[in-house]
Amino acid sequence: ILSKRRKRKFDSLEDFCLRVKIERPLLENLILSGCFNSLNGENADHLLKVSRIFSQLLKKNGGESGGEILKSSPFSLEKKVFLEMDLLDLTFSSHPLLIFREALRKIERIKSGHLSTMAEGEIVKVAGIKVILHTPPTRSGQRVIFLTLEDEEGLIDVTVFPSAQQLYAKDIFEADFLLIEGGVQKHGPAVSIIADKAFDLRKM
C-alpha cells in the first residue's frame, strides 16, 4: 500500500482497489478504522461501494456482475465509536462518554479532575470506559476487583470488595462503560473510589 501511494496518491476507493490487491474483509476493516477519511464520502458510503467495486473486479476477471450504488446515511457518532472500539480498541472520532451525555446530564457525577476536591468518605458517582480490570490473589482468599475507568479528564481507580459484588459483579465484568457509586478514599495525593454500586451505562 505504501509503495503504491508513494508513486501516486489514491484519489478514490475505486482507485485504491484497482491498484492494490486486497481481500474484502481487510478492506472493510480499513474503511471502518478511518483509513479512507481523506477521500470524499462517509465510512458508510465507502462500505456500500465495496460490493459494487468487487462485482466490477469480478466482471473484469470473468466473474458475475451485480450490485448497484446505494444511498447511505452517515454513521451516527455512537456507531462510529463502537466500530472503532471493536476494531482498534481505541477511538478517535470522540471520547466514548459523549455517547452517554444525555444520560450523564441527569446524574450528579464527579469527573476525575475534581475527585481530589472531595472529602474522605464522601459518596460520589463517577463514570467512564473500563480500561483495566484485575483480581489479584488476596490473603483471605476473597475476590477483590480493582478497576481503572477513563473519563473525559483522566483516570479513576475503583476498588470493589465482596460486599458489592453479589449484585454488581456481572455488570462490572461484562460492561465496557460503567457508572460507579461509592466512597472517596485518599492515600496522600492518590484518590480512589470504594464501590458500593455499579451499573452498565449502555443499559441506562
Write down the pLDDT at residue 42: 65
**What global pTM score does this model have?**
0.59
172: pLDDT confidence band, cut at 50, 70 and 90?
Answer: very high
pLDDT tens-digit map of 88-112: 555 555 567 777 787 888 888 999 9
The last residue of one of the domains, among 60, 88, 116, is: 88
Using CB atoms within 10 A of its CB, is residue 193 exposed (0-12), middle (13-18) or buried (19+)?
A: buried
Does any domain span residue 72? yes
48, part of any domain: yes
pLDDT for the residue 76: 58
Grid cell for residue 49: 461501494
- How many structural domains comprise the chain? 2
Q: Residues 193, 184: contact at Cβ < 8 Å?
A: yes
Percent of the chain predicted with pLDDT > 90: 40
Q: Of 59, 88, 117, which residue constitutes the final position of a domain? A: 88
Same domain, 121 and 38: no
Bigger pLDDT: 40 or 178?
A: 178
In a domain, 58, yes or no: yes
pLDDT score at 97: 77
Contact 191, 185 (CB under 8 A): yes
Contact 128, 150 (CB under 8 A): yes
